Copies of this chain bind each other. A is one copy, B any other.
């Protein structure tokens, strides 16, 4: 069974992360109409062409449906494992001819039902396309196939003195990260996938492979097709390679932890740090509930108040300077306990609470499901948005710690709930709606980094209104047969 070789990485089961079937759907996603005859024809053709790299067993289809999210799984009809761009072209040609959905699949770590198959169709597992095609150290760039994960890339790069900074937490595939416009803890310094993808190649409707740009660090050559594919969630074509910007591995990294009296103090310290041009590499906010959870889970004794976890990258002199500047700012906003270090072991210990935040959340209500929200607001509104959300959490008796990428104004509420209890599910749904509305009312977005997928479609409509029509026009024009990941982003 060669096909299983590709599943060497841990693959999540087709269940919610706590291991139980979730029987009550949040915002149940309607299955679309299926093109039965086309699917049957495509299965026959792909089976003949790809042999044991074409699989239809339920277990493997379940592994390729929705995985790590609260959204119920919708299985594809089959999974195909291309090994190069020419094979992707063949797959797209067959799917185009028979109007069959193709859902590109990476590690399955997306959070909003991106890889579900509401109209059935074929999951295209890209994880065998995992070659690093080129590293241009002098240009600080590399080109990889979409199935390379960020950890694989960084392991490969280690000897070059370079690294790829984007860190969304999960060891996601670069193709998936590009497709959801991922970011994470150090976007405040290094940007998101939007800033770090120089070019992609993609197979588009009809089976042509196009290249959106070359390797120049900037270009004014026509429409920015690169940025159109970054964040398109696989709805405009299948990405076959990605050219990425890289960064020099910092000579020295300092890590620090800094408690504040209030959320507002912590947020004000963030604002002044960024206004001052201090190139902070990470600046993460954990609220008091999260800090309590971290202390309990990891046996720590941090102050159980809103806390910033910071990291600085640079030369020894540079991080020393940045850390001192940050300490001054923090003390202006009432913090007395900033501790920091450049010693790697001590740094790991200081940041342990942040690294274990997710597991600490889970420990607050063993057996519960977690829904991770993803709003992002202008940083001047971050304190207000978090404070209003705290009130909301309290008013509705939710258990919901908060972790935020404070430098970007992006925060995740980890809502713990019983996904088999309709009342609890309804309560969480209503909370998420209020939270997203609150962010939009503050000039924010319903998704800072997770993407729309199936889960946030109604909120995107509220967020962008008429601009959604342009997205639909582009989709219809570039994918006239609607074969690329249909039923995502918009209806």
A247 proximal to B (CB < 8 A): yes
Write out the residue numbers on chain B whose beta carbons fall within 8 Å of the beta carbon of A216. Answer: 376-378, 408-410, 439, 443-445, 448
A279 proximal to B (CB < 8 A): yes
A391 proximal to B (CB < 8 A): no
Contact B376 A194 (CB under 8 A): no
**Residue with the greatest number of chain B CB neighbours at <10 A, chosen from A230, A379, A410, A460:** A379
Task: State which residues 174-188 of A face B: CB under 8 Å.
Answer: 180-183, 187
Contact B221 A460 (CB under 8 A): yes
- Whether A440 touches B214, Cβ cut-off 8 Å, given contacts A180-B220, A191-B195, is yes
- Whether A445 touches B276, Cβ cut-off 8 Å, given contacts A210-B466, A210-B470, A466-B210, is no
Q: How many residues of A contact B (CB 8 A)?
A: 96
Task: State which residues 67-117 of A face B: CB under 8 Å.
Answer: none
A336 proximal to B (CB < 8 A): no
**Copies of the polypeptide in the assembly:** 2
Select from chain B the residue with minimum beta-carbon distance to A473.
Answer: B477
Contact A445 B210 (CB under 8 A): no
A49 proximal to B (CB < 8 A): no
**C-alpha gap A449/B271 in the complex (Å):** 31
Which candidate, A24-32, A292-300, A301-309, A311-319, is the interface stretch facing chain B?
A: A311-319
Write out the residue numbers on chain B whose beta carbons fall within 8 Å of the beta carbon of A443. Answer: 214-216
Task: State which residues 193-239 of A face B: CB under 8 Å.
Answer: 194-195, 204, 208-225, 227-228, 230-232
- Whether A460 touches B222, Cβ cut-off 8 Å, given contacts A277-B248, A380-B139, A477-B477, is yes
Select from chain B the residue with minimum beta-carbon distance to A447.
Answer: B220
A244 to chain B minimum Cβ distance, whole angstroms, is: 13
7 contacts between A and B (CB under 8 A): A136-B380, A137-B275, A218-B448, A219-B445, A250-B277, A474-B478, A477-B477
Q: What would 17 more interface pairs be, CB under 8 Å, given A216-B448, A223-B471?
A: A161-B275, A181-B220, A192-B218, A195-B195, A211-B464, A214-B443, A215-B444, A217-B408, A220-B451, A222-B464, A222-B468, A222-B471, A223-B489, A248-B277, A277-B314, A474-B477, A477-B477
